[in-house]
Amino acid sequence: MTRILANTSVYHSGWCEEYLMGVYIIRPKTTSVAHSLKLASRKFTRESRPSQVAEVVNFWQQDPVYQEISSYLEDTDKITQYPTYSNITGSKVVDIPDEEFEQIRQDLPNALILRDQPIQLIQPERNNAASKDTLSTDDLWHLEAISLNLARQQGFSGTGKDITVAVLDTGIDETHTALKGKVAASYSLNNRTQQIQPISAQDTEGHGTHVAGLICSQEVGVAPETKLISGILIPGGSGNLSDLFLWLDWLAMQPEVNIVNISAGIPIFIDGISDLIDSLLAVGILPVCAVGNDGINRTDTPANCRGSLSVGAINSNYQVAAFSGSGTIAINNHQYQVPYLVAPGKVVYSSVMGGGYEAWDGTSMATPIVSGVAALILEKYQKITYLDLVNELLSTCKDLGLDKERQGKGLVQVPKALYEP
């Protein structure tokens, strides 16, 4: 989305000329973190974060195209750069006068210049049934489906303790009884300064509270001692692609964050975003993303990026929900399919703003369930590598016997290795 700065003026010898500014993302066109750094051995510990961040930052600083872009932006007074936090993305978010865009494109032929665009909440279907204060066993079918109930019956005591999930969403209502004490910190993006700043916990739309409950509430959550960082990426349900770049750049500087849960997207594939996700993996943060609610052959960015752990949805009959997105992505002579796995996402009860529980339908209900399972694995195997973590999640999925293009590897499960001798 282009942000128009109305009534912005420059003065020349006593006369006033109005001009319009557009927001753009500028980054090297072909340089790839995934092709140059070994992502397989990345770890998710607080101790490993500083060295991994330093390696990624150094990678970009040594890249000739990144150097060219940085020098160009420093030498012009026509472009305003947005704040950066870690510089892991190899990207610059900038305001550019519209009349200067073509010149900049010619001056930086090796740069990918993306015009900003909207990123939206992957909107669930919110069932009309009245909210409940207490839930039945049948209402908690999602915990049965992922074998969490079985694991607990066999003595599994994992809770996600000491693991932190960043929920980039609409915010979280931490006054809900199921979420009290779960939100370690809350942040929002100041649209005036473009700075990410701490705020009191709040939900601007309601979606983030439902997502949060499925991660860590005591009754409906998968990993009840997991801590949350709330980041308002999509206030009221909408934001900008540039905001996602700023948030992921900021997350790298939060060493306690192990996982980021994203239920927002753009309903197309954007090649320039793939390396953004790879940069996140390179510093030791697992991105778990909802694939989208537009059905077969429809997927959302960033879930359709190769490095995202993309999540689709099933119903209580263990069939892929009709709305659950899926598709084949072709990039650089390579193809892969999303989603990578599925989780319960239809008639799933969780916490709602103001109290109580409601059953919603969407891949953004399935996604926090996968984040919760990942938190349980990280709690058990604190020094696990990225490759081993993803393998543990995908290799232990339950094959539902469905179309591989729709179910991926299958239904996420709490791995037996966590609770069997």
For the residues of 302-321, what is the DSSP string, one character each?
Answer: TTTSTTSEEEEEE-TTSSB-
Same domain, 187 and 302: yes
Reported as a single tens digit per residue, the pLDDT across 217-251 is 999 999 999 999 999 999 999 999 999 999 999 99
204, 170 in Cβ contact below 8 A? Answer: yes
Same domain, 324 and 183: yes
Q: Is the pLDDT of residue 313 over 50?
A: yes
Point out the domain boundary residue: 116, 137, 172.
116
Give how many domains the chain has, as a whole number.
2
Which tokens go with 68? 């060219």
For residues 302 and 361, give the distance between their C-alpha atoms in angstroms, rounded to a whole number. Answer: 20
226, 375 in Cβ contact below 8 A? Answer: yes
135, 357 in Cβ contact below 8 A? Answer: yes
For residues 45 and 14, give the distance between their C-alpha atoms in angstroms, rounded to a whole number. Answer: 59
Q: Is the pLDDT of residue 395 over 60?
A: yes
Residues annotated catalytic, as ranges: 169, 207, 364
Which tokens go with 111? 């740069």
> Can you give the three-state secondary structure of 267-299, one letter per residue?
CCCCHHHHHHHHHHHHCCCEEEEECCCCCECEC
DSSP state of 352: -
Same domain, 87 and 183: no
Domain that holds residue 337: 120-418
Same domain, 69 and 22: yes
For residues 318 and 145, give the distance between their C-alpha atoms in angstroms, rounded to a whole number. Answer: 8
Same domain, 79 and 145: no
On whether residue 382 sits in a domain, the answer given is yes
Reported as a single tens digit per residue, the pLDDT across 286-299 is 999 999 999 999 99
Same domain, 77 and 133: no
Which tokens go with 340? 């990578």
393, 311 in Cβ contact below 8 A? Answer: no
Going by pLDDT thresholds of 50, 70 and 90, the confidence category of residue 12 is very low
Same domain, 387 and 331: yes
On whether residue 32 sits in a domain, the answer given is yes
Q: Is the pLDDT of residue 178 over 70?
A: yes
Same domain, 353 and 302: yes
Same domain, 187 and 96: no
What's the CATH code of the domain at 190? 3.40.50.200
Least confident of 148-162, 217-231, 270-284: 270-284
On whether residue 55 sits in a domain, the answer given is yes
Same domain, 60 and 158: no
Point out the domain boundary residue: 98, 116, 134.
116
Same domain, 79 and 196: no
For 32, other C-beta atoms within 10 Å of its C-beta total 14
On whether residue 4 sits in a domain, the answer given is no
Same domain, 144 and 274: yes
Burial of 115 (0-12, 13-18, 19+ CB in 10 A): middle
% of the chain surpassing 90 pLDDT: 88
For residues 414 and 397, give the distance between their C-alpha atoms in angstroms, rounded to a whole number. Answer: 9
On whether residue 95 sits in a domain, the answer given is yes
**Site of tokens 């309601």:** 206
Point out the domain boundary residue: 116, 144, 162.
116
On whether residue 1 sits in a domain, the answer given is no
On whether residue 3 sits in a domain, the answer given is no
On whether residue 254 sits in a domain, the answer given is yes
Instruction: Count how many residues are written for the chain.
Output: 421
Least confident of 42-46, 255-259, 267-271, 382-386: 267-271
